[in-house]
């Protein structure tokens, strides 16, 4: 397949909204014992559950290292396709490509630079060489050409698009000094406009409190339900450090308009009560130099916003929290045409993300 | 994807002739320095050439180990898809699956057992664990279900089918004591009938002289041009040990009929002059315990029959031999609708096979 040095904007390709029709979904099998407790066995069960849920609605592929191939094949259902691909960790939203389409239905990939959320400064694992190759490799697997974004570092979870010219990011992440310190904010915005083919970038100041793995990815904080309409991670508890972050984002978004000049409708999606790592959970994680440790008492960035939108469904993480029901109720209202599928996802959160972080959609092109 | 315990015969699936329409082709990237001289660099150039030739006519995928991925991607043309898949050597004809189809155009794979041409008795490399997994893995990559042939050892190069009920094998290979010693000839024939869905098996006594790697695979000796018509590796030189093998096969095939009761039309395809390994070529191969050595003066099993038939083309190995022209002329006559594409293939022969051995077709099903 071809490596393209031009840009999607130049060639008339755009990144569709996640809520648009998919050709399928990718997931990467979790395995590293210095991030996933108890040899990743509890996480593997939950990833398999997520895969089986998605398989009910659209084609899904799980990518897996050679040494876990047979185990993964045996743990997921027969509708799931299992394909070998070397990886360092299982965040395909961030290490994988973003896909773009044109009006003729041709699909291409954007292969971003990846440095494990901060490289040698604040990266959360080392090395990340296999993960940096995933963008190009998944493009080949899909048999599509890919745009080479060169050394521009970007995780897919740090952007959302409405498919109609608007992208949304957090300044906390995109301006972090361990991503693209050689670029100004304007230069970064230009890159987003070129590679996502958007006219406007909304810069939410910060992500969810406690999201130190990713420096506050937007995909845990705010998501487009459809053009002109977002959900925002919320709390009414003024004693919670999340409060000022939610208020700040609400105020910012309330005053902004999108690329089409629309005011945004903002739906508040209340977070679960603070979730902290237990002693037992912490002790299940191997200590490895260069990997972010998971310590007892650390607060994880629990948020319902980290859901995945697919063909006819939403895969929503739940936590056994009283707010689970509220989240389900709100999403049922916001997604009338889709089944709300819940997965008890504490294990994914313990690893540093949630359902949106572990999935990557391929938009539907012609003939797919 | 599903693992099926039934058989293609039971489910109404058959293996099509190679000359029927393809969805695409697989190749595995060569790399092991104990088989491919000079760090496999000369072989990689030839494999890339074969891939680029095939890419002109149908989709092609090269499977490659992680550590050679970037090198392979850079060495082949942009029309070739490069996908990571762990392997021990590059004979996808033999280690990969055979594909079967039904009348509705559904494609499935047959995942044979593989023991590197003889396991711990006479296998030509060790270990072969990755190669034994290729059948199931390539089926997943194709997103098709696969028949699990269990511990029945079979290399794809040891069979040819006419797509109309006839299979052709050599007794030299299929009855070798290092393949399925626990099965009688009748039991082996039953397996072939069940998994290829054929009614008749033609047992050519022996393969090409010098083909000790494979114990005389049929695909170097005899091939179906179409139902009722074969080409046979030939020599008129009575001093050549190949002579008695060609005569023996000719006599056998002359007296046989195929599954439809047809007498076979046999075309003699004269072999190149004997090809032996030079001192320099031998010295380029690493010595490794457990791998068949490539010694100076060894005669390689050179044969034009080891060609690959694809959509609108035949990929024919040539050797810089006077018989090259005769082979091209005959195949042009036999394949009037196809372009005869030649590749100088001494490097593949030095590794123990040729173009047919390094390719595996996926038949065209519905929607492909």
Q: What is the structure's pLDDT at B291? A: 86
Nearest to A84 among B73, B82, B84 (CB): B84
Q: Which of residues 115-134 of A touch B (CB under 8 A)?
A: 130, 133
Sheet holding B265-270, edge to edge: B222-226, B229-234, B265-270
Q: What is the structure's pLDDT at A291? A: 86
Nearest to A84 among B2, B82, B86 (CB): B86
Residue spans of beta strands (DSSP E) within A124-178: 146-153, 160-161, 166-170
CB contact under 8 A, A137 and B86: no
Q: How many CB pairs under 8 A join A and B?
A: 52
The continuous run of DSSP H or E covering B110 comes out as: strand B107-113
The continuous run of DSSP H or E covering A62 comes out as: strand A60-64
CA A143, CA A166: separation in Å to the nearest integer? 28
CA B180, CA B169: separation in Å to the nearest integer? 14
Contacts of A127 in chain B (CB under 8 A): none
Task: Tell me whether A5 touches chain B (CB under 8 Å).
Answer: no
CB contact under 8 A, A84 and B1: no
Is A357 labeled as catalytic in the residue annotation?
Answer: yes
Minimum Cα–Cα distance from A2: chain B residue? B78
For residue B137, which of A60, A82, A203, A245 has the smallest C-alpha distance?
A82
Q: Which of residues 274-293 of B touch A (CB under 8 A)?
A: none
Contact B91, B214 (CB under 8 A): no
Write out pLDDT tens, residues A211-234. Answer: 999 999 999 999 999 999 999 999
For residue B169, which of B147, B142, B140, B198 has the smallest C-alpha distance?
B198
pLDDT-based confidence at A368, cuts 50/70/90? Answer: very low
Contact A63, A126 (CB under 8 A): no
Low-confidence ranges of chain B (pLDDT < 70): 367-368
Contacts of B78 in chain A (CB under 8 A): 1-3, 145
Write out pLDDT tens, residues A140-196. Answer: 999 999 999 999 999 999 999 999 999 999 999 999 999 999 999 999 999 999 999
For residue A209, which of A242, A184, A232 has the smallest C-alpha distance?
A242
CB contact under 8 A, B1 and A81: yes
Q: What is the structure's pLDDT at A345? A: 98
Mean pLDDT of A272-278: 96
Q: Are strands A98-101 and A107-113 parallel, antiparallel or unpaired?
A: antiparallel
Write out pLDDT tens, residues A285-294. Answer: 998 888 888 8
Percent of chain A whose predicted confidence (pLDDT) is above 70: 99
Q: Give the CB-side neighbour count of residue A132, counting CA atoms within 13 A.
A: 19
Task: Tell me whether A332 touches chain B (CB under 8 Å).
Answer: no
Nearest to B86 among A1, A2, A66 (CB): A66
For residue A51, which of A341, A248, A282 has the smallest C-alpha distance?
A341
Angle (CA) A191 A197 A198, round 5°: 90
Answer yes or no: is pLDDT of A367 > 60.
no
Distance (Å) of CA B270 to CA B36, B219, B243, B330, B350: 27, 15, 11, 10, 20
DSSP 8-state secondary structure symbol assigned to residue A291: S
ipTM above 0.90, yes or no: yes
Q: What is the structure's pLDDT at B365? A: 85
SS3 labels along B23-71: EEEEEECCCCCCCCCHHHHHHHHHHHHHHHHHHCCCCEEEEECHHHHHH
**Distance spanning both ends of chain B, measured CA to CA:** 18
Minimum Cα–Cα distance from A146: chain B residue? B78
CB contact under 8 A, A143 and B73: no
Write out pLDDT tens, residues B4-54. Answer: 999 999 999 999 999 999 999 999 999 999 999 999 999 999 999 999 999
Write out pLDDT tens, residues A60-112. Answer: 999 999 999 999 999 999 999 999 999 999 999 999 999 999 999 999 999 99
- What pairs with residue A314 in β-bridges? A309, A340
CA B321, CA B323: separation in Å to the nearest integer? 5
Residue showing tokens 């972090």: A176
Distance (Å) of CA A366 to CA A65, A105, B57, B227: 31, 5, 21, 37
Question: What does the domain layout of chain B look like in residue ranges?
Answer: 3-363
Residue A226 main-chain phi, psi, to 5 deg: -165, 175
Q: What is the structure's pLDDT at A292? A: 87
Torsion angle in degrees (nearest 10) through CA of A71, A76, A80, A84: -20
CATH class of the domain comprising B3-363: alpha beta
């Amino acid at each position: 397949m071809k490596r393209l040095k031009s840009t999607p904007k130049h060639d008339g390709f755009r990144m569709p909204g996640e809520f648009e029709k998919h050709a399928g979904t990718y997931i990467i099998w979790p395995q590293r014992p210095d991030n996933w407790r108890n040899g990743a066995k509890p996480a593997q069960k939950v990833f398999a559950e997520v895969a089986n849920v998605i398989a009910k609605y659209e084609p899904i592929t799980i990518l897996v290292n050679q040494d876990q191939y047979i185990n993964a094949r045996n743990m997921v259902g027969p509708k799931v396709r299992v394909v070998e691909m070397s990886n360092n960790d299982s965040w395909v939203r961030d290490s994988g490509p973003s896909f773009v389409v044109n009006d003729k239905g041709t699909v291409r990939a954007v292969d971003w630079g990846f440095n494990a959320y901060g490289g040698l400064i604040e990266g959360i694992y080392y090395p990340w060489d296999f993960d940096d190759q995933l963008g190009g490799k998944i493009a080949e697997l899909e048999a599509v050409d890919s745009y080479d974004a060169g050394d521009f570092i970007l995780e897919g979870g740090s952007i959302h698009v409405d498919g109609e010219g608007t992208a949304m990011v957090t300044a906390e992440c995109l301006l972090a000094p361990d991503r693209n310190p050689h670029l100004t904010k304007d230069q970064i915005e230009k890159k987003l406009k070129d590679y996502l083919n958007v006219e406007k970038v909304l810069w939410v100041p910060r992500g969810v409190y406690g999201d130190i793995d990713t420096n506050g990815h937007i995909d845990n904080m705010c998501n487009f339900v459809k053009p002109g309409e977002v959900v925002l991670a919320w709390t009414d508890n003024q004693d919670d450090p999340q409060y000022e972050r939610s208020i700040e984002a609400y105020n910012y978004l309330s005053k902004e308009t999108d690329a089409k000049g629309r005011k945004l409708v903002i739906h508040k999606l209340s977070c679960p009560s603070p979730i902290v790592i237990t002693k037992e959970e912490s002790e299940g994680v191997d200590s490895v130099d260069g990997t972010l440790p998971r310590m007892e008492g650390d607060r994880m960035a629990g948020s319902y916003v980290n859901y995945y939108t697919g063909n006819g469904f939403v895969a929503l993480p739940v936590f056994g929290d009283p707010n689970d029901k509220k989240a389900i109720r709100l999403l049922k209202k916001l997604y009338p045409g889709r089944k709300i599928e819940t997965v008890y996802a504490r294990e994914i959160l313990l690893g540093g993300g949630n359902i949106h972080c572990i999935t990557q959609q391929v938009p539907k092109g012609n003939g797919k």
